[in-house]
Amino acid sequence: MATTRTLDYWTQRAAEITFDGRAWIDGAARDAASGETFPCHSPIDRRHLADVAACDAADIDLAVAAARRAFDEGVWRRKSPAQRKKVLQRFADLLEQNAEELALTDTLNMGKPISDALGIDARATPNCFRWTAEAIDKVYDEIAPTGDDELGLVTREPVGVVGAIVPWNFPMIMASWKLAPALAMGNSVVLKPSEKSPLSALKLVRLAEEAGLPSGVFNVVPGFGHTAGKALALHNDVDTLVFTGSTGVAKQLMIYAGESNMKRVWTEAGGKSPNIVFADAPDLEEAAKAAASAIFFNMGEVCTAGSRLLVEDSIADAFMEQVRAAVKTWRPGNPLDPNTNIGPIVDEGQLKRVLDYIDKGKREGARLTAGGNRVTDLGDGYYVEPTVFEDVQPEMSICKEEIFGPVLSVVRFKQEEDAVRIANDSIYGLAAALWTSNLSRAHRVARALRAGSVWVNQYDGGDMTAPFGGYKQSGNGRDKSLHAFDKYSEVKATWIKL
Ligand code: NAD
């Protein structure tokens, strides 16, 4: 679809698009109880997009009360799975019909290229709802193996009120990974989008209502982490908190749960994923291209970004030449241009973080072989050149810490054991990739890698059937696939004496 649209088309639509920054609580648009708003600016050119309700604890209270009432009254959870499926499929249809508007919203709000917003985010979001909705009238509960005089039932029930807190890098996809299984199971949800990208969630919830989701079942409360987010995490009437974001905030949420009602906490957190290229990779040119897209796609603002490239010493010189050639195909530009593959960084704070890490890399003695600067000839936007550091040592901060920007750290290794040791030497364990044509090595290394997703001879494979989540400080639990239902259900054992 994107290729048939031009920069002029998107520029025109961007000039006409409107946003409603009010929260959505109990089936109605609402200003924050305090009357406060915060401005949303575009990272493309700092244009003012909307004033958004700056919700806090008072609004969270209202939303949680509406969610609880809807749950207790059973307006959604008592519908049959087939009925819930129908509503969620209608919602998916509406998401598809509004794909351009939703994609444009995210591009303007957080800077991702329109081709990606439309081709990836605006497709994956309805697909997530459709896939999950399709599953719910096909999943059975269990009957335990008992003696003749008893009947043991093992059933799944919705948990109740789900609080969902999500980040800005894939605003719609991250929300849908939580919303789809939560709603499919019959729960009520209060979603707190990131203050950096709240606008698509506010459009999404209005479409859900149009699809027939009863009022109070799905509420969106925009606001800051330390106000609205904290209030949701501390709320005594929230049964389960699901989160995607940084490891630091994930840890804080676990503390909030302990300080309040011991709500269940499921987190998808940070990453520093290794991409290991062995000398026997089946196609080094393809591996080099994938190494570049693994870190530069979505400006490197990806939890699974292949930010550590581990290359076998014997091929490193020739392979890095291919990588540097691939890097040149990633050119920062106006994300409204369908030919742009790398847009601006989300905001000034994140831009500073990325530039500070680039400085740190230089000071730590890594060799800068591509990029390294802010792009200044694209106006006021927050653009950074795709950046590559070679001769990186595993203990350097650019190799240990999540930068969340277009900065690649390249480390050389000699033996397979060294590659595995360096790859696993991280507090994170979200994803990892390896490239080899040796089948035994592929399995051996895949097993040894401590990561929730492992890709062989590709980067970032998988679809809705693949569970997604982290080992170690990358989080707990899994999004996507049938495993996602575990977060949104309690398991009940009912034992009947016959
Ligand atoms: P963040 O942790 O700063 O914010 C995420 C959300 O938490 C936002 O909505 C924010 O308002 C909220 N928040 C912040 N402080 C809070 C508090 N004290 N209480 C409650 N809520 C609070 O993360 P971000 O900058 O939005 O996103 C980038 C991070 O997200 C990266 O670390 C990235 O790796 C991670 N991420 C992980 C995955 C995954 O699936 N594992 C996917 C995407 C992004």
Number of domains, the chain: 2
Rounded Cα gap, residues 115 and 341, in angstroms: 8
Residue labelled with tokens 């479409």 = 207
Tokens of 471: 């080992």
Q: Mark which of 233, 249, 269 sits at the end of a domain.
A: 269
Asked if 63 and 116 sit in the same domain, the reply is yes
Asked if 142 and 247 sit in the same domain, the reply is yes
Nearest ligand 1 atom to the CA of 350 is 25
How far does residue 22's CA lie from ligand 1's centre (Å)? 22
Q: What CATH number does residue 323 fall under? A: 3.40.309.10
Mutation pick for ligand 1 pocket among 221, 265, 303, 472 (CB with most ligand atoms within 8 Å):
303
How far does residue 31's CA lie from ligand 1's centre (Å)? 24
Asked if 405 and 377 sit in the same domain, the reply is yes
Name the residues annotated as catalytic.
268, 303
- Counting as low any pLDDT under 50, the low residues of the chain are 1-2
Q: Mark which of 238, 269, 300 sits at the end of a domain.
A: 269
Ligand 1, atom 8, lies closest to the CA of 194
Ligand 1, atom 11, lies closest to the CA of 225
Q: Mark which of 254, 269, 284 sits at the end of a domain.
A: 269
The pLDDT of residue 2: 47
Q: What pLDDT digit, counting tens, does each position of 380-420 carry? A: 999 999 999 999 999 999 999 999 999 999 999 999 999 99
Using a 6 Å CB cutoff, which residues line ligand 1?
165-169, 174, 192, 194-195, 224-226, 229-230, 233, 244-246, 249, 252, 268-271, 303, 402, 404, 430, 470, 474-475
Mutation pick for ligand 1 pocket among 56, 194, 254 (CB with most ligand atoms within 8 Å):
194
Q: What CATH number does residue 109 fall under? A: 3.40.605.10
Tell me if 85 is assigned to some domain: yes
Tell me if 180 is assigned to some domain: yes
Tell me if 115 is assigned to some domain: yes
Tell me if 2 is assigned to some domain: no
How many C-beta atoms surround the C-beta of residue 149 within 10 A? 8
Range of the domain at 369: 274-456
Asked if 339 and 442 sit in the same domain, the reply is yes
Which pTM does this prediction carry? Answer: 0.98
How far does residue 28's CA lie from ligand 1's centre (Å)? 27
Exposure pattern of 12-45 as b/e (b: 16+ CB <10 Å)? ebbeebebebbbbbbbeebbbbeeebbebbbbbe
The set of residues, in sequence order, having a beta carbon less than 8 Å from that of 178 and lying 6+ positions away, is: 162, 164, 166, 189, 191, 242, 244, 479
How far does residue 174's CA lie from ligand 1's centre (Å)? 10
Amino acid at 391: D
The pLDDT of residue 4: 77
Dihedral sign from CA coordinates of 297, 266, 245, 410: negative
Mutation pick for ligand 1 pocket among 246, 247, 348, 352 (CB with most ligand atoms within 8 Å):
246
Tell me if 481 is assigned to some domain: no
Ligand 1, atom 15, lies closest to the CA of 225
Rounded Cα gap, residues 100 and 119, in angstroms: 10
Rounded Cα gap, residues 36 and 32, in angstroms: 6
Q: What pLDDT digit, counting tens, does each position of 325-353 carry? A: 999 999 999 999 999 999 999 999 999 99
